């Protein structure tokens, strides 16, 4: 028996009586394909992104000349990154989408709201060298690595002075567990047209990411026609019943800020990394378009 295993058994013998045990954190791709299967994974991820790029009209895009090569490079970089822990934070599928989106949208600025460990800022910065990436969080303590080209700021993004930046060509990414309707309004009022939302869950599965209601409404709520006659949503969190009043006047105002929206393709079965696909929004200052009208049962 190795010293490491002996130490683990010794510590576990103390921890087990109180229901605890030492475990190694699970990481993406600790078990992973090689050879033909890995090549096929790269191909299917590239095909999914290219197929989406050819049909989407939500943002202006410059097509990626060799998506498969870009996917392979990002995968190798991800394997060497400190962001593979499955417990919280962004993971491979969505980070790859952020990376590829930045490559084809060529933003003048990236606003990364919700730094946490720094994974999303890293994915953006590696895609668009030379493009300023501003990463905001109220607490930069969990940050694992400071990526070159990223400016880390320990305050809310709305407190920043953007007068030196062209926000009409910016991409804003929100993974900060703040009311998505508020973030939509803030971005639209500053002239930011391109937004990526993480954790956009429908009313059937939002409870775990409601954060006691402070993260509501989700963008999905604005698009859900079944809420038209509902005055209150309720859910249970840690044994407590919580309530969120549906403000239909506010919901209509928020909806008017959406010119177009769609959810990115789900590539969970390609990689085995299961994540909710991102929500993309193009904002509008002139009112809702047909693509932003509520639908029966959500978008």
Q: Does domain 34-292 match CATH 3.20.20.80? A: no
CB atoms near residue 189 (< 10 Å) = 12
Residues 6+ apart with CB under 8 A from 241: 234, 235
Sign of CA dihedral 59, 65, 68, 71: negative
Task: Look up residue 211 and give its DSSP letter.
Answer: G
Q: What is the pLDDT of residue 85?
A: 87
Determine the Cα angle at 251 with ends 247 and 252, to 5°: 120
Contact 108, 192 (CB under 8 A): no
Q: What is the pLDDT of residue 286?
A: 46
Tell me the C-alpha distance between 22 and 251, whole Å. Answer: 46
Q: What is the pLDDT of residue 133?
A: 98
Q: What pLDDT tens digit does each residue of the chain (299 aa) get?
A: 566 555 546 655 655 666 655 556 788 999 999 999 999 999 999 999 999 999 999 999 999 999 999 999 999 999 999 999 877 778 999 999 999 999 999 999 999 999 999 999 999 999 999 999 999 999 999 999 999 999 999 999 999 999 999 998 999 999 999 999 999 999 999 999 999 999 999 999 999 999 999 999 999 999 999 999 999 999 999 999 999 999 999 999 999 999 999 999 999 999 999 999 999 999 986 444 434 444 434 33
Q: What is the pLDDT of residue 87?
A: 76
Domain boundaries, the chain: 34-292
Q: What is the pLDDT of residue 293?
A: 40
């Amino acid at each position: 028996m190795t010293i490491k295993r002996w130490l683990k058994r010794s510590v576990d013998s103390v921890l087990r009586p109180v229901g605890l045990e030492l475990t190694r954190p699970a990481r993406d791709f600790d078990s992973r394909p090689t050879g033909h299967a890995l090549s096929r994974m790269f191909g299917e991820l590239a095909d999914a992104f290219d197929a989406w790029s050819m049909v989407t009209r939500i943002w202006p895009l410059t097509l990626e000349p060799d998506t498969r090569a870009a996917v392979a490079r990002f995968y190798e970089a991800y394997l060497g990154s400190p962001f593979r822990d499955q417990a919280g934070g962004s993971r491979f599928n969505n980070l790859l989408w952020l990376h590829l989106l930045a490559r084809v949208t060529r933003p003048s600025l990236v606003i990364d709201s919700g730094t946490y460990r720094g994974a999303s800022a890293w994915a953006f910065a590696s895609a668009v060298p030379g493009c300023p990436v501003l990463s905001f969080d109220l607490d930069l303590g969990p940050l694992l690595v400071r990526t070159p080209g990223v400016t880390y700021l320990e305050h809310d993004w709305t407190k920043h002075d953007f007068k030196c930046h062209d926000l009409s060509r910016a991409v804003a990414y929100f993974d900060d567990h703040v009311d998505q309707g508020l973030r939509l309004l803030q971005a639209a009022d500053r002239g930011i047209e391109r937004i990526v939302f993480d954790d956009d869950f429908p009313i059937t599965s939002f409870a775990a990411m409601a954060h006691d209601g402070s993260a509501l409404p989700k963008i999905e709520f604005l698009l859900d026609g079944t809420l038209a006659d509902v005055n209150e949503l309720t859910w249970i969190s840690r044994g407590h019943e919580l309530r969120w009043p549906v403000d239909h006047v506010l919901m209509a105002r928020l909806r008017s800020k959406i010119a177009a929206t769609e959810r990115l393709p789900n590539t969970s079965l390609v990689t085995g990394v299961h994540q909710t696909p991102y929500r993309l929004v193009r904002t509008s200052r002139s009112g809702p378009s047909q693509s932003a009208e509520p639908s029966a049962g959500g978008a």
